Every structure is written in C-alpha cells, then in structure tokens.
Copies of this chain bind each other. A is one copy, B any other.
Amino acid sequence: LPRALEDRPVVLLNCLPRRGALPAVVPDERAAGRAAAAALLERGHTDRIHLVGEVPPGAYAGGERLAGITAELATAGQQLAGHLACVWWPPDTRTAVHPLVAGSAGGGRPSAVIAINDRVAMGVYQAAAAAGVRIPEELSVVSFDGSDLARWLHPGLTSVALPYREMGMRAIELLVGEPPGARGLHRVPMPLQVRESIAAPES
C-alpha cells in the first residue's frame, strides 16, 4: 500500500490484501461456482459434466470457482467427470477441447461443459461447431464473467457475471460510511445470466 494512504481510510477493490485485514471487496466466486453447477444439475445433468480451462495455483477466482463447483456437485452426489486445463484463449481451447466434444478422447462425450471464463467458452463453441455438436441440444455450456462475449456468442452464453457496478458501489459505501468499513472480505454476489446455451441432456 502506498505510504500516502497509511493514515487514511482504505478499501481494496477487486483485489486481496497481501497481509493484514484491510477491507476488501471481491466477487463471490465460490457462490458463482455453485450457481454454475446448480444450473446444470437443475436441468438434469449428472455424471458427464466437464470443467474446461486451467486453474492456476494461487489464483483467487479460478480456485474459488472450482471449489464452488465441486461443493455443489457433491450435494447431488456427483463430481466432475474431467478437467481439461487448457490456457484461456479461444484458439488454444478450440484445439484442446475438440477431441473431448467430438467423443474421440475416450470416456464418452460430455453432456455439459463448465468453462472457467467466457473466452474459454468461445473456444468450446468453436470446437463444438467443428465437431458438428449442437449447443445446447447436444452440449450445454455455462461460463463465468458475463462479458460482452457472452451476449455476442450464438447461441447466447449462460454466464455467472462479475458484478463490477455493485462492487464499486459497495467499496464507496465502505469508504465513506460511518463508521469506516469493517475489515475483512466483503463478497458481492455474482448473478447467473441465463441465456440459450444450457438445456436438459439428451436422453
């Protein structure tokens, strides 16, 4: 923290304190992971749900998303059928995911993919198109971030959105409020934006 701020009220926004207990406003990534998994469970997906996209060690968002997904699946007695840890760019994802969605990777085709973010989901769409696999009829896709891409892809991508506006408002409230903001993590809910990319699995 810059020295000039040491005697002033400080709230961290979208980042975590290295140590100590400054107030920090972050997205509730764990609940987002639960919401993504729940959206698939509710539609009847069970044991053919794959996670796509690497979760770097120590990365807050990815780790929390994965923990939430795992926890939510466990409530239904399920677990991820696989985790394809490709890098977060559409071209890399497209190449890496193609054997999986085409069913040539062994272990059967997924009924649903959870993409670690919307860029990865774009690559999943491209792989599905190349393999002739229809979304959502033959493959459901749910993702995280709620970026422009989620609205731009076809069919529209269901995504758990980063609540930028709400996080900003929460940080300002903590900063100017009386008394000054409570220390510790303030988790802001991430809304599930449902679009056309998820459906019941093929029977």
Give the docked Cα–Cα distance between A152 and B92 (Å).
Answer: 9
Q: Which residues of B contact A90 (CB under 8 A)?
A: 152-154
Interface-central residue, A89, A91, A156, by most chain B CB under 10 Å: A91
Which of B91, B129, B154, B156 is in CB contact (< 8 Å) with A152?
B91
Copies of this chain held together in the complex: 2
Q: Is A122 among interface residues, defined by CB-CB distance under 8 A?
A: yes
Q: How far is the CB of A191 from chain B (nearest CB, A)?
A: 20
Please give me the residue from chain B that is nearest to A93 by CB atom.
Answer: B152
Which of B94, B154, B156 is in CB contact (< 8 Å) with A154?
B94
Q: Which residues of B contact A152 (CB under 8 A)?
A: 89-91, 119, 122
Residues of chain A whose beta carbon lies under 8 Å from any beta carbon of chain B? 89-91, 94, 119, 122, 126, 129-130, 151-154, 156
